[in-house]
Amino acid sequence: MRLAGHYRTLVKMLAVSLIAVLLSGCSSNWGWYVVSPMTKSGMNNLLFLIGGLKYTLLLSVTAIMISVVVGLLVALPGLSENRALKLFNRTYVECIRAIPILVMILWVYYGLPQIADIQIGVFWAGVLALALSDSAFQAEIFRAGIQSIHRGQYEAARSISLSYTDTMRFIILPQAIKRILPALGNQLVYMLKMSSLVSVIGMQELTRRANELVVTEYRSLEIYTILIVEYLVLILIVSAGVRWLERRMRTDEGS
Amino acid sequence: MTDLASDARSAGRTAPIIELIGVNKWFDDFQALKDINLAVLPGEKLVVCGPSGSGKSTMIRCINRLERHQSGRIIVDGTELDDDEKNIRTVRQEVGMVFQQFNLFPHLTVLENLMIGPQRARKMTKAQARERAELYLERVHIPEQADKYPSQLSGGQQQRVAIARSLCMEPRIMLFDEPTSALDPEMISEVLDVMTELAESGMTMVCVTHEMGFAKRVADTMVFMDAGEIVESADPETFFGNPRTDRCQRFLQQILGH
Ligand SMILES: Nc1ncnc2c1ncn2[C@@H]1O[C@H](COP(=O)(O)OP(=O)(O)OP(=O)(O)O)[C@@H](O)[C@H]1O
Ligand SMILES: [Mg+2]
């Protein structure tokens, strides 16, 4: 509840600073007409910018779903006693983690079709690059989460003859996921921000649209301010959602 | 240390349900079990005691393969424990285990804790598993706690749930590793009572415990371990009345002392 209090204060502070910026827009330096819903062209511009939300969301959510699955599949061998499996985990994590996301996006979009005989669109190139980059971090989060579950839980599960898969699925992962939920939420926020990089290969998400509008309207200050607000609102909503989920999962354990 | 095995053989009628033959176990360089020979007959109650670090837990954990022994043979209900995962699961279906720290699944209700084994490992339907869970919850005298989470129960209740969880698999053998050591004194007897009832029902039991009152009441055979070896094994009367070795004598004096 204290956290929720802090959160409310934060939102208030943001709202105040936002109003300050908007008010200062009345002075001659600002040209809010470019996105004014009062005029037809302003309205069009505004809708064009907001329309990117759909792609930013689609891109990030698809990518994070893939990266969670891949991350888990990479984390499990890392927890094994087997040397070779452990080595696979370490190699994957260290290598993927070392590649800057922007570079990964460029390589997947321009490079991958040349070595593998595939046609890859902007959207899926973006998803793949983001998911790949994120999966290394997900793998580390899952590994730490699973490792934090007491050994007695495995032993109890094995002693009632549950298989490895059932032990993971019904006993270990539900507890581990509850613990790593804050970290997964962070990762989602991070993903939403990183998706802006996919603009470089022409994906019409939030950032790309802002860039395109700036080129035709020459109003970078207003348009990029709108862009910031878009990300801010999006991420505040997502964070609130994650927090709600955390609270819910905590209460259904009765502790 | 082979007198148990030979007892079993001379008894003739029944073959042991648990048999350890020349079992050795190392943790890196440290030898935790040294040439362990042990035979437990169906329905027999074996109580294992000994000083801390003597290898009691390690020994019984080898019986359901929570620890892997490096040499010797362990045969449980006709199945030899080796690296074959199938054999290990066969044995675990027949062997229940109760831990010092309960190890209940905190994210599941009491009933769900009991149902998961029958459902997943015995392939029972939800309704069948539920019926069985309710039956065994009644056996440990806490049917009214079915829908609570483990954290809402007292230690004694949690341990009884843990016993019921194992019983739901309908094992032929139950292993107990100091089941009352983590409990407040006033809760020990409720758990021992359940164990005594279980013993009376004819279950084969191997209990590591320092509850000597319980041991005298239910044990058919007492085993004393020290430094990874079985130093002494005898019926309770001989064991408590006339221990052969100094080490065992000293241990019993300490534990029964005052
Ligand atoms: N996983 C492990 N790795 C290394 N050494 C271990 C491990 N488990 C047990 N040991 C060692 O093996 C020896 C026997 O341990 P064990 O737990 O079987 O003793 P115990 O008789 O059950 O003692 P206690 O009464 O304290 O439970 C101890 O010296 C212990 O330190
Ligand atoms: Mg022990």
Low-confidence residues of chain B: pLDDT under 70 = 1-13, 258
In the predicted model, is pLDDT for residue A25 greater than 60? no
How close is the nearest chain B Cα to the Cα of A176, in Å?
Answer: 11
Q: In the predicted model, is pLDDT for residue A13 greater than 80?
A: no
Q: What is the 3-state secondary structure (H, E, C) of B71-110?
A: EEEEEECCEECCCCHHHHHHHHHHEEEECCCCCCCCCCCH
Q: Which atom of ligand 1 is nearest to the CA of B228?
A: 14
The CA distances from residue B57 to B62, B214, B225, in Å, are: 8, 19, 11
pLDDT of residue A30: 79
Interface test with A, best of B107, B122, B159 (most A CBs within 10 A): B107
Are A159 and B152 inside 8 Å of each other by CB?
no
Show which of residues 163-202 on chain A sit within 8 Å of chain B, judged by CB atoms.
163, 166, 170-171, 174-175, 178
B168 within 8 A of B141, measured Cβ to Cβ: no
- Ion ligand 2 contact residues with beta carbon within 5 A: B 57
Greater pLDDT, A134 or A19: A134
Q: Give the pLDDT score at B12.
A: 56
Closest CA to B193 of B179, B206, B208, B182: B179
CA B125 to centroid of chain Cα atoms:
28
State how far residue A177 is from chain B, nearest Cα, in angstroms: 11
| Mean pLDDT of the region A147-165 | 95
Which of A170, A148, A156 is CA-nearest to residue A79?
A148
Residue A3 has pLDDT above 90, yes or no: no
Q: What is the pLDDT of residues A27-61, one digit of tens each?
A: 557 788 888 888 898 889 889 999 999 999 999 99
List pLDDT tens digits, range A144-153.
Answer: 999 999 999 9
Cβ contact B220:B207 at 8 Å: no
Report residue A117's pLDDT band, with 50, 70 and 90 as the boundaries.
Answer: confident
Answer yes or no: is pLDDT of A253 > 80: no
**Mean pLDDT on A185-205:** 94
| Partner-chain contact B92 A178, CB within 8 Å | no
Mean residue pLDDT across chain A: 90
**Number of residues that this document lists for chain A:** 255
Determine the Cα angle at B69 with ends B167 and A168, to 5°: 50
Say how far apart CA B122 and CA B129 lie, in whole Å: 9
Q: Are strands B204-208 and B173-177 parallel, antiparallel or unpaired?
A: parallel
Nearest CA-CA partner of A130 in A73, A201, A43, A209: A201
User: What gap in Å lies between CA B63 and CA B33, rounded to an integer?
Assistant: 13
Tokens of B96: 């229940």
Mean pLDDT, range A16-30, rounded to an integer: 67
Residue A160 to residue B103, Cβ atoms within 8 A? no
Nearest to B99 among A152, A166, A178 (CB): A152
